Amino acid sequence: MDLLSGAERRYLEETRREGAFRCAQCGERSAYGLCVGGQFLCEFCADGAAEKLKAQYAVVYAESQEQFSQFLRWWFDSLTQAEQEDILRPVYRQQKECERITGSRKIQTVAEEFCSESGGFRDFIRSRMKEELEELP
């Protein structure tokens, strides 16, 4: 399937012979450029055209196979902490239930690493021990 129309193809062949093409927007001659909307544009004008097309193609680009992982991190980082927790809480509970069923210990292992690295775990244990002592008859 040809992506270029007959006129576009003739123009491209002509500009190859001349070693440069004339930008349809600014009129400058350029050896490099892009065909955008049936017009050949120099790199500078093509960048401007791409900026104008952002609203139309942003989500398509972000969800493309090549960009999706990076976009997910970008999107997640843009959320407030409360929004992040709202999203992760049910996922965490589901993962915990799967691990209970399968016997996996990933959450347990990560939780133990968290306790080792976070500064408040010892204080938490001391507080719990104190509460338990106070509950004794």
pLDDT band at 1, cuts 50/70/90?
very low
The answer to whether residues 79 and 87 touch, using CB atoms and an 8 Å cutoff, is: yes
CA distances from 128 to 94, 109, 116, 123, 137 (A): 27, 21, 17, 9, 17
Give residue 12's pLDDT.
66
pLDDT of 44 > 70? The answer is: yes
Give residue 31's pLDDT.
77
- Token output for 86: 């709202």
Dihedrals phi, psi of 29, to nearest 5 degrees: -90, 140
Q: What is the pLDDT of residues 2-35, one digit of tens each?
A: 555 676 667 667 666 666 778 888 888 887 777 7
Q: What is the pLDDT of residues 69-109, one digit of tens each?
A: 999 999 999 999 999 999 999 999 999 999 999 999 999 99
Count CB neighbours of 12 within 10 A.
Answer: 13
pLDDT band at 47, cuts 50/70/90?
confident
- Token output for 134: 């106070």
Which residue in this structure is represented by tokens 């407030």? 80
Give residue 134's pLDDT.
78
